[in-house]
Amino acid sequence: MSTPSLQFDNRFIEALPGDTETGPRVREVRGAAWSSVLPTPVADPQLLALSAEVAALLGLGPDLTGSPDFARVFGGNALYAGMQPWAANYGGHQFGHWAGQLGDGRAISLGELVTAAGARWELQLKGAGRTPYSRGADGRAVLRSSIREFLCSEAMHHLGVPTTRALSLVGSGDRVVRDMFYDGNARPEPGAIVCRVAPSFIRFGTFELPASRGDVALLRQLADACIARDFPELADAGTERHARWFALVCERTALMVAHWMRVGFVHGVMNTDNMSILGLTIDYGPYGWVDDYDPDWTPNTTDAQGRRYRFGTQPQVAYWNLTRLAQALSPLFDDVAPLHAGLAHFQSVHARREREDIAAKFGLAQCREDDVALRAAWLQILQDGEMDMTLAFRGLMAVDPQAPTVTVLEEAFYNPERRDAVLPALQAWLQQYAARLRDDPLDAQARQQQMAAANPRYVLRNWLAQEAIERAEQGDLAGVHALQAVLRHPYDLQPGREHYAGKRPEWARDKAGCSMLSCSS
């Protein structure tokens, strides 16, 4: 294979102790942050989709992404010089309970690419085969879940939400057997591999695992390696570094989850092994987008009973996860006051950001005290009236402060009876909102601009992803490519692409993949 001159500096494995055994034999790995393991080759790697933006970010030109070697490398059948594949070791709290060692069971990092501009990006295959952390599973991923991860990573980025990125979607040519609803109906599905890209894939659970084992030496090494690699702004922080680092993690997590609430994203599995130390949205599994506004909705059928990870409680769950991280890091602190301060910082950053988002989404120069109640009343109406969150907020942009009417919100309703029931409350609310707008210093144009930048028109609605997946499973990738294109500009009006802004069609109301997703992927 002709090897392009890419530069890799694999600092994670340079800086941290590795497992003495190599290869995928399943085992407990103690005293080590990673294990050397190669991707397992696949039958017929084919590039199905590429993110041109991420390729450009990495300095991978069309000569490289267009060559057959590209699909081989990002399907797991070959390596570029400088790649040294590893799987990371970590633990986590799953659904509120400590789960012990988890680790990268089907993710394999290929290396850390250093670009000409000096940026460093870790390239990680998801679905590349077994690792020491695969436990009983196969280390593979199916096409449907890989499409969902590929599209959503990039959609989130273009929405302005902190996230891991996705470079490529490679079909494996192999079949992967999955029982989608764990009900005895296993079937073979096409397999695929996504290459995810981020400065770091370190998770809260990366620190929880050595802490749970009383391995303070490894915990300290991990913390310091993470700070050195991923938090260059703390280079001169000296003995303050752990405290300032934790505060930064709290801050970034608060901002990330506030973005989720702004755009209507439900992660679905906010276990601590799925929380990035950089405050990036990570591990796109049974996530979903809110259609009709409902703070109690979760797309994850595995969580249908407890609904731990429902839309409305995501900020509280993020906070709880940070308390787990604080607990894990506590051996590094003589005094726990900085950990408490970090958690308090989460609350204040989140509260501040929430108010900024109220102002942005409702088109106000500033969020005043009673605007919080105005928003609460609005959300209650959306819920009672079964109104589409994305369309309703977008509809608000057209409210005339002098003569507000319900007309601008008509397309947001799913159900005529629910509409009629909520109409008097909505009309009264619109009067209040119009009065508030008349009392606000923003002019119409500034208001429109501000609202258009905070309220997306296009999000990766579950049914849209499902439509693209069903076509892709028949061998037609055009739906995936079309969604990629639309979601590059989620805040712009895109004439001719109304289909992608439409509310959930009736066929998708209770369909698997649209309103119900499992962890089986």
| Residues lying near Mg ion in the complex (CB under 5 A) | 274, 283
Tokens of 489: 């500009």
For the CB of residue 269, give the shortest distance to ligand AMP in the complex, in Å.
Answer: 5
Nearest approach, Cβ of residue 39 and ligand AMP (Å): 13
**274 lies in the binding site for ligand AMP (CB under 6 A):** yes
* 429: CB partners within 8 A, 6+ apart: 374, 377, 378, 381
Q: Kindly tell me which residue out of 137, 177, 235, 453 binds ligand AMP, with binding defined by CB under 6 A.
A: 137
User: What is the smallest separation between the CB atom of 176 and ligand AMP, expressed in angstroms?
Assistant: 8
Residues 214-273 that bind ligand AMP (CB under 6 A): 269, 273
Secondary structure letter of residue 458 according to DSSP: -
Cα 12 to the center of its chain, rounded Å? 22
Which phi-psi region, left, alpha or beta, contains residue 386 (left: φ > 0; alpha: ψ -120 to 50)? left
Q: Strand 97-101 and strand 265-266: pairing? A: unpaired
**Residue 239 tokens, joined:** 């003995």
Residue 446's binding partner out of Mg ion, ligand AMP, none, with CB under 5 to 8 Å set by partner kind: none
For the record, the structure tokens of 275 come out as 């929380």
Q: Is residue 103 close enough to count as binding ligand AMP by CB under 6 A? A: yes
Of 19, 104, 174, 273, the active-site residue reads: 273
Provide the token pair at 135.
Answer: 């436990």
- Contact partner at residue 103 from Mg ion, ligand AMP, none, CB < 5 to 8 Å by partner kind: ligand AMP
3-state secondary structure at position 225: helix
- Give one DSSP letter per residue of 488-500, joined into a string: TSTTS--TT-GGG
Distance CA 139, CA 128 (A): 6
Is 208 near ligand AMP (CB under 6 A)?
no
- Decide whether 268 or 395 has the Cβ nearer to Mg ion: 268
Cβ–Cβ under 8 Å, residues 170 and 193: yes
Judged by beta carbon, residue 15 or residue 99, the one nearer Mg ion is 99
- Per rule CB under 6 A, is residue 105 in the interface with ligand AMP? yes
Could you say whether residue 129 binds ligand AMP (CB under 6 A)? no
For the chain, the distance separating the N- and C-terminal CA atoms, rounded to the nearest angstrom, is 32
Supply 410's token pair.
């008509």
Q: Which does 269 bind (CB under 5 to 8 A by kind): ligand AMP, Mg ion, none?
A: ligand AMP
Listed in sequence order, the residues at least 6 apart from 70 whose beta carbon sits closer than 8 Å to its beta carbon are 47, 60, 64, 168
Q: Which two tokens stand for residue 288?
A: 């979903």
**Nearest CA-CA partner of 131 in 192, 85, 98, 171:** 85
Provide the minimum distance between the beta carbon of 103 and ligand AMP in the complex, in angstroms, as a whole number: 5
Contact call for residue 138 and ligand AMP (CB under 6 A): yes
| Residue from 11, 93, 106, 394 binding ligand AMP (CB under 6 A) | 106
List the single partner that 519 binds among Mg ion, ligand AMP, none, CB under 5 to 8 Å by kind.
ligand AMP
Closer CB to ligand AMP, 138 or 224, in the complex? 138
Closest among 20, 148, 142 to 89, alpha carbons compared? 20
- The whole-angstrom separation of Cα 377 and Cα 332 is 45
Residue 140 contact among Mg ion, ligand AMP, none, beta carbon within 5 to 8 Å by kind:
ligand AMP
The verdict on 206 binding ligand AMP (CB under 6 A) reads no
Q: Binding site for ATP: what residues are annotated?
A: 103, 105-106, 126, 138-139, 196, 203, 283
Alpha-carbon distance of 51 to 46, in angstroms, equals: 15
- Binding residues, as ranges, are 103, 105-106, 126, 138-139, 196, 203, 274, 283
Nearer to Mg ion, 40 or 274 (CB): 274
Q: Smallest gap, in angstroms, from Cβ of residue 280 to Mg ion?
A: 13
Q: How many helices (DSSP H) and strands (DSSP E) are in the chain?
A: 16, 12
CB of 92 to ligand AMP, least distance (A): 8
Q: Residues 6 or more apart from 206 whose CB is under 8 A from it?
A: 33, 88, 89, 90, 222, 226, 277
Closer Cβ to ligand AMP, 274 or 455, answer by number = 274
For the segment 279-338, give every residue that binds ligand AMP (CB under 6 A). Answer: 283, 285
Binding site feature residues for Mg(2+): 274, 283
State which residue has the least CB distance to ligand AMP.
Answer: 105
Residue 215 known to be catalytic: no
Cβ(171)–Cβ(48) below 8 Å: yes
Entry field: residues in the chain: 521
Exactly one of 45, 139, 171, 288 binds ligand AMP (CB under 6 A); that residue is: 139
Q: Which is nearer to ligand AMP, 187 or 509 (CB)?
A: 187
Closer to Mg ion by CB, 88 or 469: give it.
Answer: 88
> Is 491 in a helix, a strand, or coil?
coil
Q: How far is the CB of 39 from Mg ion (least distance, A)?
A: 18
154 or 283, CB closer to Mg ion? 283
Q: Among 19, 104, 189, 292, which residue sits at the site for ligand AMP (rule: CB under 6 A)?
A: 104
Which residues lie below 8 Å from residue 248, measured CB to CB, with a gap of 6+?
Answer: 231, 233, 234
| Closest distance to ligand AMP from the beta carbon of 147 (Å) | 16
Q: What is the DSSP string of 30-88?
A: -S-SEEE-PPPP-S--EEEEE-HHHHHHHT--HHHHTSHHHHHHHHTS---TT---EEE
Tell me the catalytic residues: 273
Binding residues vs ligand AMP (CB under 6 A): 102-106, 133-134, 137-140, 269, 273-274, 283, 285, 519
